[in-house]
Amino acid sequence: LGLLERLPRQVGGARAGSAGFVYHLGVGGQRLAIERGWQPERRRRRSLTPGTLFVRHTLQVSELHTLLIESDRSRRVELLELACEPHCWRSFRGVSGHAQMLKPDSFVRLGLGAYEDSYCIEVDMGTEGSRALERQLQLYVAYAQSGQEQAERGVFPLTLWLAPDGKRVAAIEDSVARLKSADRELFRVAQFEDAVTVMQASDNKE
């Protein structure tokens, strides 16, 4: 029916050196997703084969969403909102008045008892240098200073940076430490495997 297509390139899987196929929406699948409101209206096209890094990053974000949905079903958390790209992007005007775009990998809103926690998620693959990290951190600071999110939602989300290992956590934390003291409070860094645990125990409750 043309709903799904399979990438020609295989991606290494978790089973002892085996490889797994990666599927994506075909033209028919894109049409169905638009009709169901799962993705925004746009020109349907046949996808080109993406690069390995893009595929691995996309799969990691998908894994995070799977973990959150499983946690919701097991009642560890209450998943109130889960938005992926491009739905989670934020367009805003900085202090200088110039239009800017913030592109988190996900936006998550959780219910934990009487509280709600909101997060912008950055799934880090360990490929960005310190300058690229600092530019992204400053973009979040600029968005917070714009006041747009606070005006629309009443609270500014915590940005949770998920890294592949402890060494990368330390590198990102070094970049955060170079920010002004007040701006550091906007961010938290953790290993990817601890994502749900960190969110479940968060003190970012509004």
d(CA 115, CA 118): 10
> Could you report the average pLDDT of every consecutive run of 10 residues in the chain (206 residues)?
78 53 84 82 63 85 95 93 92 87 96 89 93 95 95 94 96 96 96 94 55
Assessment of whether the complete model's pTM goes beyond 0.85: no
**pLDDT at res. 202:** 62
Beta bridge partners of 108: 82, 119
Amino acid at 60: Q
Amino acid at 128: E
- Alpha helices in the chain, H assignment, sequence order: 27-35, 52-73, 130-146, 148-153, 166-177, 181-184, 195-200
Amino acid at 157: P
d(CA 49, CA 113): 43
**pLDDT at res. 199:** 92
CB 139 within 8 A of CB 100: yes
Strand 158-163 to 115-123 pairing: parallel
**pLDDT at res. 140:** 97
